[in-house]
Amino acid sequence: MARLTNKHILLGVSGGIAAYKSADTARRLRDAGAEVRVIMTRAATEFITPLTMQAVSGHPVYQELLDTNAEAGMGHIELARWADVILVAPASANFLARLAQGRADDLLSTVCLATEATVAVAPAMNQQMWSNAATQTNLATIKKNGVKIFGPAEGSQACGEVGPGRMLEATELVTLTAALFSSGELDGLHIVITAGPTWEALDPVRGITNRSSGKMGYAIAAAAMEAGARVILVSGPTALADPERVQTIRVQSAQEMHDAVHAHIHNAQIFIGVAAVADYRPAQVSAEKIKKQNADMALKLMRNPDILASVAALAAAPYTVGFAAETNALEEHARRKLESKKIDLIAANYVGDDQGFEAEENSLLLIDRENIIKLPTQAKTKLARALIQQIAQRYRAKYGAKIHRLRS
């Protein structure tokens, strides 16, 4: 079954008899794990009610561009940013024409214009309308603009005619939508990723840790898997579920994380250290709960192994990516870590003041020895995909096709 776990799919419904299939499409997108929001054009509401679409999507349906209540909730720009993919199903001949012209005269066309997400359309219309030169010209225009076209199928139509113009079935639309997330950029590669905090025990009930939730690292693991990699995620203690189709190894301490990474790194072509690893651990771990005694108490700490630096120092080191979590002088500190840990690429982020740790969104400064680029603030899931794309490009530039022979 196609997987869309945690993907944000904005389902646009334009006016046409095939709108009756939109309810099934919304339901099957959700079955595949997607979060679905729906925009309906005014014409679409003549064929299927917003109440039906609300019931199957689990959210109120967006209809009007200039709706004060809707704008106070998730406004049209926010909706455009929220979407990972906008799927317009059915897409009528009129909607295709408006998309080709770049119109912004209703909510659906405006959001399509305002989004950076992939827009896919599932055309549905009478076969004569489909074959019309005007429709084919509009299709060519939107294709050139990067819009994906799903279908249409051929067969008997609601109007009694036979030919091309039938909207694809919901299951086919879900499969095609899921395929949009599989770039294949990391096909055949093995990747080891660390994520989350570490827990350095003081006694059976206390320890030293930090605020890492694991969200960034888990999102990167999912994005790498979607890009075709075989992923091993070595995770410190988090409240998150294991990402699908990712081999997840749960550890507690930095030493355990180090050992788990080194047990699996020999097969890996890429290592990404996202975990917030404790630099120090208590020199002694008490077997019993430590009792309160004096007014003050000193803790002796000792250095933990540096996992990232140890991977980069391997004789057959993988392409090694580190993170830098900084509260100030982001670029300067990150460059120092890039050099001192001898890694290929560093992804630097600000932390503290609700940034980085635990947050749903993040931004990254990517620094290697040739380039520096900024990945702007966005949901960690989207940021992770952008990061994986950058890593795949750099990896290919460094090793080309040779790598499979070198490290297999």
Binding site for ligand PMT (CB under 6 A): 194, 212-217, 254, 273-277, 279, 304, 306-308, 322-325, 337, 349, 351, 356-358
DSSP H helical segments within 84-195, as ranges?
93-101, 107-114, 127-131, 133-144, 170-179
112 in active site: no
Between 296 and 354, whose beta carbon lies closer to ligand PMT?
354
Q: Which of 51, 159, 263, 314 is catalytic?
A: 159
Q: How many CB atoms lie within 10 A of CB 176?
A: 18
Q: Is there a contact between 86 and 51 (Cβ–Cβ < 8 Å)?
A: no
Q: Is there a contact between 39 and 54 (Cβ–Cβ < 8 Å)?
A: no
Q: How far is the CB of 67 from ligand PMT (least distance, A)?
A: 34
Between 50 and 305, whose beta carbon lies closer to ligand PMT?
305
The span from the CA of 107 to the CA of 185, in Å, is 34
Between 318 and 322, whose beta carbon lies closer to ligand PMT?
322
User: How many residues comprise the chain?
Assistant: 408
Q: How far is the CB of 103 from ligand PMT (least distance, A)?
A: 39
Q: Is there a contact between 192 and 394 (Cβ–Cβ < 8 Å)?
A: no
Q: How far is the CB of 349 from ligand PMT (least distance, A)?
A: 5
Residue-by-residue DSSP string for 291-341: PP-SS-----EEEPP-HHHHHHTSTTPPEEEEEEEESS-HHHHHHHHHHHT
Q: How far is the CB of 218 from ligand PMT (least distance, A)?
A: 8
The amino acid sitting at 289 is: K
Burial class (CB in 10 A: 0-12, 13-18, 19+), 47: middle
Q: How far is the CB of 128 from ligand PMT (least distance, A)?
A: 53
Which phi-psi region, left, alpha or beta, contains residue 342 (left: φ > 0; alpha: ψ -120 to 50)? Answer: left
CA 59 to chain centre: 21
The span from the CA of 4 to the CA of 381, in Å, is 12
Q: How far is the CB of 56 from ligand PMT (least distance, A)?
A: 32
The span from the CA of 226 to the CA of 104, in Å, is 33
Q: How far is the CB of 243 from ligand PMT (least distance, A)?
A: 13
Looking at residue 192, the DSSP 8-state letter turns out to be E
Between 46 and 358, whose beta carbon lies closer to ligand PMT?
358
Between 19 and 345, whose beta carbon lies closer to ligand PMT?
345
Burial class (CB in 10 A: 0-12, 13-18, 19+), 371: exposed
Between 150 and 357, whose beta carbon lies closer to ligand PMT?
357
Strand arrangement, sheet containing 8-13? 35-40, 8-13, 85-91, 118-123, 148-149
Between 78 and 279, whose beta carbon lies closer to ligand PMT?
279
Catalytic residues, by residue number, are 159
